[in-house]
Amino acid sequence: MTGKLADLVVLDGNPLDDIRQTKNIRYVMKGGVLYDGTTLEELWPTKTPYGAHWWVNPDALKADKKGITPAVDRP
């Protein structure tokens, strides 16, 4: 969430062990409201779904015929 402000961010990993863990956001709290870090659904004080993401184009997802290439392990 580049450019966003939060009061509290809960990570799934320890960034002191691996700085890449800062990408693994589990929860975000802003203004006393707790959000799921992946879906941005409100979890507390009232569970509320986020709704449709404006940046997702469902027609483009249906038209994508490319297969998923597995990740290559690097030494």
Residues 9-30: pLDDT tens digits? 999 999 999 999 999 999 999 9
For residue 20, is it within any domain?
yes
Q: Rounded to two decimals, what is the model's pTM?
A: 0.62
SS3 63: helix
| 28-63 pLDDT, tens digit each | 999 999 999 998 899 999 999 988 777 777 777 676
CA distance 26 to 11: 5
Question: How many Cα atoms sit within 13 Å of 20 on the Cβ side?
Answer: 0
Q: Decide if 49 contacts 63 (C-beta within 8 A).
A: no
User: Is position 25 within any domain?
Assistant: yes
Structural domain boundaries enclosing 47: 8-55
Q: Which two tokens stand for residue 21?
A: 């863990």
Give percent of the chain with pLDDT exceeding 90.
Answer: 52
In a domain, 12, yes or no: yes
Does residue 31 lie in a domain region? yes
CA count, 13 A, side-chain hemisphere, 69: 4
How many domains, the chain?
1
**Residue 73: inside a domain, yes or no?**
no
